[in-house]
Amino acid sequence: MCGIVGYIGSQQAAGIILDGLARLEYRGYDSAGMAICDGEKIRISKSVGRLKVLEELTHNGETMPGCCGIGHTRWATHGEPNTTNAHPHYNTDETIAIVHNGIIENYLALKEMLTKKGYQFQTDTDTEVVAQLLDYYYDGDPMMAITRMLHRVQGSYALGILFAQHPDRLFAVRKNSPLIVGKSPNGYLIASDVPAILKYTRNVFYVDNQEIAVLKQDQLNFYNIDGDEIEKEEVTIEWDANAAEKGGYEHFMLKEMYEQPKTVTDTLLPRIKDGDIVIDELNMTDDELAAVKKIHIVACGSAYHAGVTGKYVIEGMARVPVEVDLASEFRYRNPILEEGAMVVVISQSGETADTLAALRESKERGFKVLAVVNVVGSSIAREADSVLYTWAGPEIAVATTKAYSAQLIAMYLLAMKLAKVRGKIDDVELSAMIEDLKCIPSQIEMLLGNEKRIQRFANRYVGAKDIFFIGRGIDYSIALEGSLKLKEISYVHSEAYAAGELKHGTISLIEEGTLVTAIATQPELYPKTVSNIVQVKARGAFVLAVTTEGNDDIEKNADYVIYIPQTNPYFMNSLAIIPLQMFGYYVSVGKGFDADHPRNLAKSVTVE
């Protein structure tokens, strides 16, 4: 998620903007920049890396005098992180400057139109296209240029705009990307999020879709997309700064759990075109995909668990053999990689040392590596032969939730693509799967609504010593992730077991009252898992069952049941994991721990 800050008033703008951008650092970024209008011209400074670089470059803003400006921290989605692609962006004659958070979906068509009209472009960003489009429509009236631009662009945007010929004004507009306007004693501000402006004001206006804000030193007006003035309600922010970064949630982990519907949507929809799965990033033709003889999935932690799900889904759907390895094992076990094999590494951070080593080992042996990564420009993304990005945005909490959910989507997309090109599913089956996937975000939303019920249940187990998770097939991969979510943030010992394996030893650990979470979402395995529930119940276990709506009979044996909506069995992981994430989170919170920063753990394990 990019960060936007803007200011116009009686003070120097640069320092206020740098301070505001610093308060948005939690959103994650890889480059930063700002544009300041000194009354005649617009100066731009941009840098890659931490905000400190921009602060040093501009001597904390002293080299950029002026009382009107816009600033930006960029989380790269399209276009590498570098100073060229960093925001702000100019039009050709540098009389317009713009910062942008979002994605202009039709920017290529607009770029083509403008190129035919003689425009040239310095970057490969969609944002520069908007700057040039404003130039194209600008004939001295900035509002006219803005409203005409808004009628042409499609996609999501929060924009801060400066016109050198109107140095007394700052313009802002949004659609689907957040933007607020703050009213302070010394002027007006715009920002992507509340933390950036809390130091200056708690009086804000939330800009709604396609509304235009026009800020002057001592005046603020709002207009609709047709240029008609509108009234907006002023709101007072009650949050403290710390809470504001989390959008009012107690922890980033909870906030990121609630972002999962958007994460799934953002990762899924750009790869569904005309009823087909289109993953251009694979850099492989359909024939090359159909020729893949075996897939090696290599990852760590939750990414590994997503890979285990990938194994069940890809083998089940596409009938391609899949081997899943922990990266720390793969890199030292002298793996057997045979001709026709494809290696897939999964990593949220793109910096995990063991996973990076596995990638390098595979490439040294001459095998192509596909990386499923969340951080654009990360080491794994740069070194892989192809990258399937999970558009989860920056994930702050150490315990992954939204990125894991996006990794599952990546696994489904890969499986469906392989199954289609290999003739294992037809158009009708593919279409039905796509419709099921499109329902996942709203189904996750519905499951998140169980929060209070799960919190009450979790409170019973803050004193637990051992908690087991069992399942068969895809349910086993869900058990793996559910167990890790619990233990890594609550420090309660937990194990995930293939339910059919219990009788080979672990069942001896079950005592009176031991909590066993049984995941039973796979129709063909359901009766078997129910019999495993009976087995552990006979030894005194308290059974929490996670199963699909309609399996009411499970209540004869399970003590507590969480139902999830029906979907394609291959996709059940995306739904069943939601209550398990919530359970782990509330056991941690119930024990008084900081769920975002669990002891001994780092967000990215960049060492062996």
Closer residue to ligand AGP, CB minimum distance, 27 or 487: 487
- Among positions 254, 303, 411, 458, the unique one binding ligand AGP when judged by CB under 6 A: 303
Closer residue to ligand AGP, CB minimum distance, 266 or 488: 488
Cβ 608 to ligand AGP shortest distance, Å: 12
Are 445 and 261 in contact by the 8 Å Cβ rule? The answer is yes
Closer residue to ligand AGP, CB minimum distance, 237 or 408: 408
Cβ 315 to ligand AGP shortest distance, Å: 22
Contacts 24+ apart (CB under 8 A), 503-508: 503/535, 506/468, 507/535, 507/536, 507/539
- Among positions 123, 535, 568, 604, the unique one binding ligand AGP when judged by CB under 6 A: 604
Cβ 592 to ligand AGP shortest distance, Å: 20
The span of 172-180, 274-282, 301-309, 563-571 binding ligand AGP (CB under 6 A) equals 301-309
- Among positions 302, 328, 529, 547, the unique one binding ligand AGP when judged by CB under 6 A: 302
| Residue among 72, 2, 85 nearest 36 (CA) | 72
Question: For ligand AGP, how many residues bind (rule: CB under 6 A)?
Answer: 15
Amino acid sitting at position 479: A
- Among positions 127, 352, 483, 514, the unique one binding ligand AGP when judged by CB under 6 A: 352
- Among positions 91, 201, 309, 400, the unique one binding ligand AGP when judged by CB under 6 A: 400
What lies within 8 Å, CB to CB, of 97 at 6+ separation is 35, 37, 42, 44, 70, 88, 89, 90, 131, 161, 162
If DSSP states are collapsed to H, E and C, what string results for 68-113?
Answer: EEEEEEECCCCCCCCCCCCCCEECCCCCEEEEEEEEECCHHHHHHH
What lies within 8 Å, CB to CB, of 452 at 6+ separation is none
Cβ 605 to ligand AGP shortest distance, Å: 5
Closer residue to ligand AGP, CB minimum distance, 214 or 303: 303
The span of 189-197, 259-267, 344-352, 560-568 binding ligand AGP (CB under 6 A) equals 344-352
What lies within 8 Å, CB to CB, of 305 at 6+ separation is 404, 477, 480, 481, 484
Q: What is the footprint of ligand AGP within residues 369-398 (CB under 6 A)?
A: 398
- What is the CB-side half-sphere exposure of residue 106 using CA atoms within 13 A? 12
Q: Residue 181: which H helix or E strand, with range?
A: strand 180-184
Cβ 597 to ligand AGP shortest distance, Å: 11
The span of 20-28, 288-296, 312-320, 342-350 binding ligand AGP (CB under 6 A) equals 342-350
Give me the catalytic one of 183, 294, 363, 603. 603
Closer residue to ligand AGP, CB minimum distance, 302 or 483: 302
Residue 300 interacting with ligand AGP (CB under 6 A): yes
Cβ 294 to ligand AGP shortest distance, Å: 22
Q: How many residues does the chain have?
A: 608
Cβ 440 to ligand AGP shortest distance, Å: 20
Give the integer Cα–Cα distance in Å for 448 and 249: 14
Closer residue to ligand AGP, CB minimum distance, 180 or 489: 489
Closer residue to ligand AGP, CB minimum distance, 263 or 347: 347
Closer residue to ligand AGP, CB minimum distance, 300 or 530: 300
Residue 490 interacting with ligand AGP (CB under 6 A): no
Give the integer Cα–Cα distance in Å for 342 and 408: 18
Structure tokens at 83: 């100073």
Residue whose CB is nearest to ligand AGP in the complex, by number: 301
- Among positions 265, 348, 483, 529, the unique one binding ligand AGP when judged by CB under 6 A: 348
Structure tokens at 10: 């009686």
Cβ 469 to ligand AGP shortest distance, Å: 15
Please state the φ and ψ torsions of residue 252, each to the nearest 5 degrees. Answer: -60, -35
Give the integer Cα–Cα distance in Å for 348 and 361: 20
Are 16 and 57 in contact by the 8 Å Cβ rule? The answer is no
Helices (H) and strands (E) in the chain, counts: 19, 27
Closer residue to ligand AGP, CB minimum distance, 4 or 375: 375
- Sign (positive/negative) of CA torsion 512, 517, 521, 524? negative
Cβ 398 to ligand AGP shortest distance, Å: 5
| Residue among 428, 348, 357 nearest 604 (CA) | 348
| Residue among 372, 392, 374, 380 nearest 354 (CA) | 380
| Residue among 352, 394, 351 nearest 77 (CA) | 394
Check if 528 is active-site.
no
Cβ 400 to ligand AGP shortest distance, Å: 4
Residue 267 interacting with ligand AGP (CB under 6 A): no
Give the integer Cα–Cα distance in Å for 48 and 538: 61
Cβ 603 to ligand AGP shortest distance, Å: 7
Closer residue to ligand AGP, CB minimum distance, 135 or 395: 395
Q: Residue 468: beta bridge partners?
A: 495, 516
Structure tokens at 523: 């129709």
Closer residue to ligand AGP, CB minimum distance, 259 or 488: 488
Check if 603 is active-site.
yes
Task: Please report, for residues 366, 385, 473, the alpha-carbon distance to residue 374 in angstroms, rounded to integers and kept in the order given.
Answer: 25, 16, 26
Give me the catalytic one of 2, 37, 67, 68. 2
Give the integer Cα–Cα distance in Å for 116 and 77: 26
Residue ranges binding ligand AGP (CB under 6 A): 300-303, 347-349, 352, 355, 398-400, 488, 604-605
Which residue numbers are catalytic? 2, 603
